[in-house]
Amino acid sequence: MKFGKMKPQRRNRLMVVGLLVVSAGVAVTLALSALNENLNLYYSPAQIVNGEAPTDTVIRAGGMVVNNSIKRSTTDLGVQFVVSDMHEAEVTIAYVGILPDLFREGQGVIARGQLNGQGVFIAEEVLAKHDETYMPPEIAQTLARSREAADAAAKGATL
């Protein structure tokens, strides 16, 4: 049966289905490739210290801001601070810009940026949560794991 000879209704339906399939296909392809380029993996301080995190790729890092670790530039908005998993690993984060209101020592933060060759995390964005009792799940997980590790170490010591 030729396309031109089909009943108009059937032809319409076929066109609609075709249109659907093609546009859905295009959209899915677009979406997946865009998704792949814009995923930011999270690495805990321990992973970064152990060299598991890639350098010069956009990733996220986070932890608790270590007390007395904030150092400010006296000429511009540059700032450096150290985040920790409260157990063993610490990572230095450098940032130029205005820190969020809830950024303070002892508070959980997440930064998005790139790790340079010297193991310093160059942040493009620093996030602290807008609710002081809320802990970003990444950090909660990091802390829980480091606590488990600490418990395991303590047990090992007593045995």
Distance of CA 43 to the CA centre of its chain: 8
The correct pick among 56, 105, 132, 148 for binding other proteins (CB under 8 A) is 132
End-to-end CA distance of the chain: 82
Q: Which two tokens stand for residue 88?
A: 């063993």
Binding of residue 35 to other proteins (CB under 8 A): yes
Q: Which two tokens stand for residue 41?
A: 């993996």
Give the integer Cα–Cα distance in Å for 104 and 107.
6
The correct pick among 72, 119, 144, 154 for binding other proteins (CB under 8 A) is 72
Q: Which two tokens stand for residue 48?
A: 């970064």
Cβ nearer to other proteins, comparing 58 with 66: 58
Binding site for other proteins (CB under 8 A): 8-9, 12, 15-16, 19-20, 23-24, 27, 30-31, 34-35, 37-42, 58, 60, 72, 74-77, 97-99, 101-102, 112, 129-134, 136-138, 141
